[in-house]
Amino acid sequence: MNLLVIGGVAAGTKVAAKAKRVMPDAKVTIVTKGKDISYAGCGLPYYVGELIEGKDQLIVNTPAKFSALTGALVQTEREVTRLDVKEKKAVVRNLRTGGEEIYTYDACVIASGASSIVPPFTGVNLPGVFTMRTPDDAIESREYLKANQVKKAVVVGGGFIGLEVAENLLAQGVSVTVMDMAPQIMPGFDPEMADYAVRHLAKKGIRVLTSTKLEGITGTLKAEGVQTDKGHLPADMVILSIGIRPNTGFLQDTGIEMFKGTILVDEKLRTNVPDVYAAGDCAMVTNRLTGARQWSPMGSSANMEGRTLALALNGEEVSYPGVLGTGVVKLPGLNGGRTGLTEEAAKAAGYDVETVLSVTDDKAHYYPDSSFFAVKLIADRKSRRLLGLQVLGPGAVDKMTDIAVMAITFGGTLEQMTSLDLAYAPPFSTAIHPFTAAVQILLNKMNGVMDSFTPAEYMAGAADDYRIIDVNPAGPTIPGVTYVDLTAVDAQVLANPRGEIPGLGKDEKLLLVCAKGKRAYLLQNRMKHYGYTNTRVLEGSSFFNVIRTGNAAGQVTVSPEEITRVKALGCLHNKGTDNFNVRVITRNGKVTAEENRRIADAAARYGSGDVVMTTRLTMEIVGVPYDKLDELRDFLAEGGLETGGTGSKVRPVVSCKGTTCQYGQLDSYALSEKIHERFYHGYHEVKLPHKFKIAVGGCPNNCVKPDLNDFGIVGQRIPSYNVDICRGCGKCQVEDICPMEAARVVDGKLIIDKEKCNNCGRCVGKCPFKAVDDGIYGYKVYIGGRWGKKTAHGKALSKVFTGEEEVLAVLEKAILLFREQGKTGERFADTVNRIGFAEVEAQLLGDEILSRKDEIIGAQLHLKGGATC
């Protein structure tokens, strides 16, 4: 057989390699447009984030290595321009020589893959605009990221690749905004699951803007921002992850049946044209549940299709059953997995759909690093079979997803899944496996044992006329609602002549809310026993849902958990109200005119109309109602602004005017912006024992109190004095100008007392005879200062630094030392005092602590932190 394979990445190389193994005598030729074959397309975001270090690691096989291993001929940099299905030949342009080549075949496999969609907007070809489809894309974007010191990036597209790129850019210290024209991110997940992910990403520092259309890239010599239908987003770098389009343009006149550019194939991967097959991202297969056509451009599917096709070409009775749409995605601190049908797709396919959302432990709750799974199951009431699963959690969501794949594939019923003999040990799972627990909850719901509202129903307002009952195990946590102690219910009912829980009528509509849903279900069970007829459990309860309750005044009352959550986003609660002050990060109080207008508009639209400055030179929009916080943050994000500046982290830096002041020895604004990007943004995810404040003063006047911050930098100008030039004037200009009285004439010569001199530089150039005519610019560093309840003056390091990068290195060492050696809840001043200034100074002036940077940042330290404001 003469087998021609068009395309050499996943499906193409798989079918070629397998064909040579089962048909050793076959002539197998791969022609591919790229210079690389078999590259790790799904690994590209992790090369950008430097988790994959070397370029060579992206290439699974080189053409020469692949040929030697398999016996297939690989022809790279060949573009197929026309396929002649009657003559059974492909017309190919050699991209190296420009010449035309002809390749004949007995069988042809089209595995030409897909390419990134680049919309025809202005600016898409500017430097700094990238797609993420080939190794070159990842390599060039990483090089640009480093060479241009990118501080802000916009990722256009909220699919898996876009979100993974966003995570990796965030890890590189870049401020990231993800935008998508769709109403949600994470296609293939239901809206409530995507909404939870958006809230999680916001907490991690990634802004997400949905229902936002790209209109163009701004900039002249390079990308400077993204223009959307809602405003302008400043950006130093833009990643276009809008989607992909099959590479099938060369097939237009072949008669091959296609749909929206994809090649339609049957279970043998055959097209409608004899001896022409297709596999991978250019082919459309079927959904194995519904039998409907489905495009599933995944590397896993491509490999399986390639293997099946090779066996079929060898005459074996095999077929490809189609896809379930299985996928997993890694987000910062959260993973997502899905398989099968979404709730909407299942209903559209005609199933009698029931769903449930359960939140369970992902391993034994007492085991270190145990966390959660939020699992949504979709099932058919009639057949009792599983139709789909979606799961979110920090851990092994792939495990949960793969169990569901097997359950769906082999058609097991929910009842059969309740007794699966799944692996258990505390480091890996719970005694009742999380998958089994979710199935059991779903069966309880289907069998009428549990009556509930799903998060989707709750978001849609299904519970608006229900009275919320707080069933949290730790006591009342939802303000303004009735609390019921589950453990006291039996005694309360037995003691009540009417057989009721005090204050709760048996026919009243009651929504039962606890931490994750279990105690709410247990309470419902007891209440049904005592004759309550209209109770509903909120699936996922306060863990998964944003709980909003109406109080007597008709206002929104926000739970303490929500107050804590939004506080981490820079939204500070006004006690006694449902309003918040929202901190807008302004890079040291400096905003552009456009940003200032955006902040003013935001205050007018969403707040009281007032904007106040904090002592840290951030701006606070006053009086924003709780239910407007998300809208406000989205509105600010559309203008390139972010909220934050709270928590046990590096706080926004504060500085004086620097060289715009007559005394300024350094450009405080420029230095503070570097610190802001490198340490406020770059260390955004690094939890510290407490808040860490940084101040930059342009001179020793200390206008921004550098010595009352955890780390203070003061501009210096150390006078250079030439005693041989001094004439011992009776009225010395240097002595007169010195504010510290460090300069004085003694025995006819000027003396400068270095103990008194604060290196303010005022004396430089004041001597008419040029005895003090020069000065060395430098930086004095103070550590361990603070102000507030317990004021402490920082102490200066003994060395005056003369290089900016040297100072920034000392600052980074101070942050790392505080993280590693500070105790949770103590300020840096306490750490310095406890360890000893001399020991801290020795570590800051040495380099050993920097050598352990990755170890210190990666350690599980200060998970709670000590900052309260």
CATH code for the domain of 110:
3.50.50.60
Domain membership of residue 320 (yes or no) is no
Q: Which of 772, 789, 813 is the last residue of a domain?
A: 772
Question: Which residues in 399-408 are b (16+ Cβ under 10 Å) and which e?
Answer: bbbbbbbebb
323 found inside a domain: no
Give backbone dihedrals phi and psi of 576, rounded to 5 degrees, phi first. 80, 0
The model's pLDDT over 744-766, given as tens digits with 9 standing for 90+, comes to: 999 889 999 988 999 999 999 99
Residues 34 and 180 in one domain: no
Query: How far, in Å, CA of 677 to CA of 680, rounded?
Result: 6
Please say if 42 is a catalytic residue. Answer: yes
Position 557 pLDDT exceeds 80: no
Say how far apart CA 680 and CA 683 lie, in whole Å: 6
Model confidence at 475, pLDDT cuts 50, 70, 90, reads confident
How far apart are the C-alpha atoms of 281 and 847, rounded to whole Å?
Answer: 49
Q: Based on the domain organization, do 111 and 122 belong to the same domain?
A: no
Tokens representing residue 765 in the block:
């150039």
Domain membership of residue 868 (yes or no) is yes
So what's the pLDDT on residue 577? Answer: 82
pLDDT, tens digit, 9 for 90 and up, residues 704-726: 999 999 999 999 999 998 989 99
Residue 758, pLDDT score: 93
Kindly state the percentage of the chain with pLDDT values over 90: 76
What tokens appear for 245 in the block? Answer: 């389009």
At 581, which CATH number?
Answer: 3.30.70.3340
Within-domain flag for 763:
yes
DSSP tag of 486: G
What is d(CA 621, CA 641) in angstroms, rounded to the nearest whole number?
A: 13
Contact 119, 241 (CB under 8 A): no
What is the reported pLDDT for 553?
40
> Number of C-alpha atoms within 13 angstroms, CB side, residue 747?
2
Does 734 lie in the same domain as 656? no
Mapped onto helix, strand or coil, the DSSP state of residue 790 is coil
Provide the mean pLDDT of the chain: 92
Residue 556: what pLDDT?
52
Specify the residue for token string 């809008």. Answer: 242
Q: Same structural domain for residues 131 and 154? A: yes
Work out how many domains the chain is built from and give that number.
7
- pLDDT for 554 equals 41
What is the CATH classification number for the domain harbouring 746? 3.30.70.20
Q: Per residue in 328-366, pLDDT tens?
A: 999 999 999 999 999 999 999 999 999 999 999 999 989
CATH number (domain holding residue 852): 3.30.413.10
Does residue 550 register a pLDDT over 80? no
- Global pTM value: 0.77
Q: Are 851 and 865 contained in the same domain? A: yes
Same domain (yes/no): 477, 441? no
3-state helix, strand, coil in the chain (%, to 5): 30, 25, 45
| Candidates 42, 703, 729, 757; catalytic one | 42
End residue of a domain, out of 507, 523, 547: 547
The pLDDT, as a whole number, for residue 730 is 87
pLDDT bracket for residue 504 (50, 70, 90): very high
Average pLDDT over residues 527-556: 81
**pLDDT value of position 863:** 76
pLDDT digit string, tens, across residues 412-470: 999 999 989 999 999 999 999 999 999 999 999 999 999 999 999 999 999 999 999 99
- Do 220 and 128 contact (CB within 8 A), yes or no? no
Cβ 105 vs Cβ 4: under 8 Å: yes
Q: What is the average per-residue pLDDT within 289-310?
A: 94
Inter-residue contact 532 to 540 (CB < 8 Å): no
Q: Residue 551 above 50 pLDDT?
A: no
Listed residues 772, 787, 812: the one ending a domain:
772
Angle 299-304-308 (CA atoms, 0-180°, nearest 5)?
A: 150
Report d(CA 166, CA 569) in Å as an integer. 18
Place of tokens 């359950």: 407
Encoding tokens for residue 409? 């594939």
- Strands 175-179, 152-156: parallel, antiparallel or unpaired by DSSP? parallel
- Is 321 within a domain? no
- Which one has a higher pLDDT value, 554 or 367? 367
Length of the chain, please?
Answer: 869
Query: Which tokens go with 94?
Result: 């050699």
Residue 695 included in any domain: yes
**Sheet strands (E) in 231-371:** 231-234, 237-240, 244-246, 258-259, 262-264, 276-278, 283-286, 293-294, 327-331, 334-340, 353-361
Unique residue bearing structure tokens 């594939």? 409
659 shares a domain with 783 = yes
Distance in angstroms (rounded) separating the CA atoms of residues 452 and 515: 15
Claim to verify: residue 664 and residue 625 sit in the same structural domain? no
Cα separation of 67 and 24, whole Å? 13
Residue type, 161: I
Is the CB of residue 861 less than 8 Å from the CB of residue 820?
A: yes
pLDDT at res. 192: 97
Q: Tell me, what CATH number does 351's domain have? A: 3.30.390.30
Is residue 82 assigned to a domain?
Answer: yes
Q: What is the pLDDT of residues 63-72, one digit of tens each?
A: 999 999 999 9
Res. 655: pLDDT tops 50: yes
111 shares a domain with 125: no
Q: How far apart are CA 97 and CA 112, in angstroms?
A: 21
Among 390-399, 608-617, 733-742, 755-764, which is the least confidently predicted range?
Answer: 608-617
| Both structure tokens of 455 | 């998060």
pLDDT band at 231 (very low <50, low <70, confident <90, very high): confident
Beta strands 262-264; 258-259: pairing state:
antiparallel
Mean pLDDT of 166-194: 94
What is the 3 state secondary structure string of 208-242? Answer: EECCCCEEEEECCCCCCEEEECCEEEECCEEEECC
Q: Are 281 and 299 in contact (CB under 8 A)?
A: no
Enclosing domain of residue 287: 2-115+246-313
221 and 350: one domain?
no
| Distance from C-alpha of 111 to C-alpha of 17, rounded to nearest angstrom | 14
What residues form DSSP beta bridges with 580?
Answer: 573, 624
Same domain, 748 and 859: no
Same domain? 785 vs 686: yes
In a domain? residue 552: no
